[in-house]
Each structure stands twice: as structure tokens, then as C-alpha cells.
Amino acid sequence: MLKQYKGLALIIIIFGVIYSLISLVNHYNFRTYALDLGAYTNAMYDYIHFRWNDSAVFKEIEENLLADHFDLYLIFFSPLSLVFGSYTLLIVQIAAVLAGGAGVWFCFRLRNPHGNIPLYAALYFYLFFGVYSALSFDYHSNVIAASLLPWLFYSVRRRNLGAAALLLALMLVSKENVSLWLVFVCLGIAFEYRKETRIRNFMLFSSIICGAAFIMIVSLIMPAFSNTGDYPHFHYSFLGSNYKEAFLHLVSHPLESLKVLFVNHNNSPFGDFVKLELHLLLVFSGLPFLLLRPAYLLMLIPVYFQKLFHDNYYMWGIADQYSIEFAPVMAIGIFAVISGIRKKRLAGILSILVLLLTFASTFRVMDNTVIHTDKVNIRFYQKQHYTRAYDVAAVHKVLSGLPPDAIISAQSPFLPHLALRDRIYQFPVIRDAEYIVFSFNEVPYPLTETEFRMTTDSLKASGQWHVLYEGDIVILQRDGRY
């Protein structure tokens, strides 16, 4: 029996190393940021001390972080920060993705215990471009939820509806939009098992529960935590001003709405061909196979819509964590089609072809894209990924000398490393900070270069701060601390 697991163990080790070379190296080299890793790491510090997080990392006016995203995973993972420090969420994310691929393998092993399909399907999941884009940019809880989905499929295939219910519950508390996605996932599974009354009815009921959860979270729970009493992330002005108007628009203007999936609908200056790039990469990654299993296309409807109707063109493309939901659905759906082919030779050829095209699509994302991304964050195979224009080790040593209880205002790339403390702000927010940490070697976001220079020069000349350290980074200390 152990022999059957050797292939899976080997690819888990290989991809575990690759993912770590992307994500953990980025963090060490100060390529993770206040938004989002810094804010989430600071939230873990608050949760482990049994208090809500106030979003002070990135908001001038304090507000419960749950008003921004309904994410309870940070509470669950917070004890791990006592062991893994600022790397905690990145390690959890890598482990979750590796576990997700294992879930794909177990799904197909139930029906193909002696063939190569389980390994091919797991490889597909590990190779999919959305996984690499997500791992190259900080941590996000929808990545964890997407990695749980293969285990939901596995539980259903084993007719273990108790485990399926538990997994659905865990996914529901990852992020508010995941509950909407699960409405369609459950409908798709119900369609797949339409001849099995028990599973079909369970999934239909689960779909209703997920829909009710989505409505409750975005209309009641998150607004209750908000200072304004509103849900902050409805950015779909083409569809209306709220989800009700969006639904009515989709129903009353179906053809116009479908057109939006393919065009730069708000004439964004950098939005041309961004959607086309996404569609082409998905097609090359095997999407047409799902035409033979339309239930899996049904599961992707909210993923397409939340991406392609968004006001921000950056959401339309292949960058960051915004394509991770495609990975588990396509891995399961594509190889469900291939595993149903009776001619083993043909199934093997198609599997290899899909894997090669998926690899090519992922390499394209790393190498050259229509939408601008920081390629150095994802090109783990190039020297530049492992180096910076300054002495990273020396900067880490300087930062480690700051008092653990100090209130700090830090430039975005440095903030995640300092976030496990009570009070920390993203520079140029200063408030009651005792130290300010910044570097001219880093991007000045959210300021322009000119604004950044003017702000730092003004602080030095203000008489309220003195230079504690100046080198590759600058640390200012407020006068009068000691």
C-alpha cells in the first residue's frame, strides 16, 4: 500500500520546495506587504490576545477587520504565530495548497486505484497558473478555502455527508464571497449526483444554506462591524449599486451581461486584452473538457462574474489570488472527463497533453503577461528572485533590534515582519508611533516618489524625530522616548 503513495509523496515534496522558494523567499526578501500579509499578521496578534483587530494597520479611523472581510481563519491560525512568527500564514497557505493537491489525488484514487489518473490530476492542480499567482502575493484565506474543495468532492464521493457538511462550514467562514461560490459548487455537485437522491437533496439544501449565509454575512454581519453600516466591497457599477440590482440586471439584460465577460466594459486605460488573456490561458489549461461535464462550468459561474464584472481591471486578469478558485474545479472536472475514457492509451495521451499545456500556461504567467505583475516575485528559477539591491540580512538584523512592544509606523514591505505587536501602522500613517521605518530602496506606495521624499525630509527636519539608524533602511525614533 505504501508504494501507491510514493508518487504522491514525491510530487508533494517537489512542489512544497517550489512553493516555499516562491512564498517564503519573497517574505525574507521583503516582497510581502502591509496589505495584505501585514494586516492579517497583526490581526493574529490581536486574536491570540483575545481581542478584535481594529484595522489600524491601514485605516486612519479604527474599524473591526471583519467589516473589511469576513475571515475567521485568522482566529483559527493565530496560535501558530507563537511558533512560526511572521511566516505563519505563508506556511499555512503552502500546506493548504499541498493538501488540496492530495485531496485531488484521493478523489481519483477512489475510482482509479491502479492507474495514473490520480497522479496526473494532482499534478494539474499543482501546476495550475492560479496557484503560482496566489503564492507569489502574500496570504489570502480564499486560497485555503479553494484547497479544501477537493476534500469536499472526496467526501461526497465516499458518501460521507457529515464530513462534507463540516468542510462546507469551514469554507463558509473563510471569506464572504466564498459562500456565494459555494452556492454554485453545491448546485453543480447536486447535478453530478442527480440520480442519487440522498446526495442530490443534501447538496441542494447546502446550496440554500450557503446562499442564506452569503446574504446574512454581506447584509447583516459585516455591516454590523462597519463604522458606516455598509458592505464595502460591491465594486460592480455596471450591474448596479448592490447585489439585488446586480441580480436584476443580469436577468433583464443577459446578452449585454455576457458581452461584458469579454470586453473592457469600463474603458480602463490598461484593461484591453486582460480578459482575453485570462480566457486563453484557461482554454489552454483544459477548460473545453468541462463542456462534457457542464456541472463544473456551473461551479465557475460566480468566479467568472466576480472577476470580469469588477470595476478594477486588475481583478479581470491572471494576477494574485483572484484565479485560485479555478484550480480545484478544473482539476476535478477535466480529469473526471479523461478518467471516463475507456481507451487507456488515449486517456494517458490526453492527460499528458493537458499537463503540458497547463505548464506552458503557467510559464507564460511567469514570463510575459498582458497585465503588469511583479515577475521577480514568481520567477523562482532566476537569480533576481533571491537578491535585492540592498543587504537583506543586515536589514533583518536592524529590525530585530526594535523593542517588541514599540508602536511602529513602517513602510509596506517591512510591516509584515514587525506586525506581531499591539500597534503598527503602514507609513505614512504615524499617529502615536514611537519609531518610523522606511527605505528609499523600496517602492514608496501609497505615496508617489516626490511625496515620499517630501514626507521623510519633513519628519527629519521637524525636531520631533531623530535618526536612530541610517543605511539601507532608515529608522527614526520619536524624541523623548527615553
The secondary structure of the chain, three-state, reads CHHHHHHHHHHHHHHHHHHHHHHHHHHHCCCCCHHHHHHHHHHHHHHHCCCCCCCCCCCCCCCCHHHCCCCCHHHHHHHHHHHHHHHHHHHHHHHHHHHHHHHHHHHHHCCCCCCCHHHHHHHHHHHCHHHHHHHCCCCCHHHHHHHHHHHHHHHHHCCCHHHHHHHHHHHHCCCHHHHHHHHHHHHHHHHHCCCCHHHHHHHHHHHHHHHHHHHHHHHHHHHHHCCCCCCCCCCCCCCCCCHHHHHHHHHHCHHHHHHHCCCCCCCCCCCCCHHHHHHHHHHHCCHHHHHHCHHHHHHHHHHHHHHHCCCCHHHHCCCCCCCCCHHHHHHHHHHHHHHCCCCHHHHHHHHHHHHHHHHHHHHHHHHCCCCCCCHHHCCCCCHHHHCCCCCHHHHHHHHHCCCCCCCEEECCCCHHHHCCCCCEEECCCCCCCCEEEECCCCCCCCCCHHHHHHHHHHHHHCCCEEEEEECCCEEEEECCCC
How far apart are the two ends of the chain, measured CA to CA in Å?
A: 65
Task: Dig out the grid coordinates for 46 from the structure.
Answer: 490581536
**Helix, strand, coil percent content, the chain, rounded in steps of 5:** 60, 5, 35
Q: In 3-state terms, what secondary structure has residue 180?
A: helix
CA 108 from chain center: how many Å?
A: 25
The 3 state secondary structure assigned to 368-391 is CCCCCCCHHHCCCCCHHHHCCCCC
If we measure between CA atoms, which residue out of 396, 392, 474 comes closest to residue 435? Answer: 474
At 114 the pLDDT is 75
pLDDT tens by residue, the chain, 482 residues: 566 789 999 999 999 999 999 999 999 999 999 999 999 999 999 999 999 999 999 999 999 999 999 999 999 999 999 999 999 999 999 999 999 999 999 999 998 877 899 999 999 999 999 999 999 999 999 999 999 999 999 999 999 999 999 999 999 999 999 999 999 999 999 999 999 999 999 999 999 999 999 999 999 999 999 999 999 999 999 999 999 999 999 999 999 999 999 999 999 999 999 999 999 999 999 999 999 999 999 999 999 999 999 999 999 999 999 999 999 999 999 999 999 999 999 999 999 999 999 999 999 999 999 998 999 999 999 999 999 999 999 999 999 999 999 999 999 999 999 999 999 999 999 999 999 999 999 999 999 999 999 999 999 999 999 999 999 999 999 997 43
476, β-bridge pairs: 436, 467
At 482 the pLDDT is 37
Whether 172 contacts 70, CB under 8 Å = no
Task: Note if the bond before 36 is cis, omega within 30 degrees.
Answer: yes
At 113 the pLDDT is 74
40 residue type, one letter: Y
426, β-bridge pairs: 410
Whether 436 contacts 459, CB under 8 Å = yes
CA 336 from chain center: how many Å?
A: 25
478, β-bridge pairs: 465
475, β-bridge pairs: 437, 469
Rg for the chain (alpha carbons), in Å?
23
* Domain locations in the chain as residue ranges: 2-30+69-377, 392-478
Quick one: CA dihedral 64, 303, 16, 373, positive or negative?
negative
Whether 141 contacts 73, CB under 8 Å = yes
Pairing assessment for the beta strands 465-470 and 435-438 based on DSSP bridges: unpaired
At 2 the pLDDT is 66
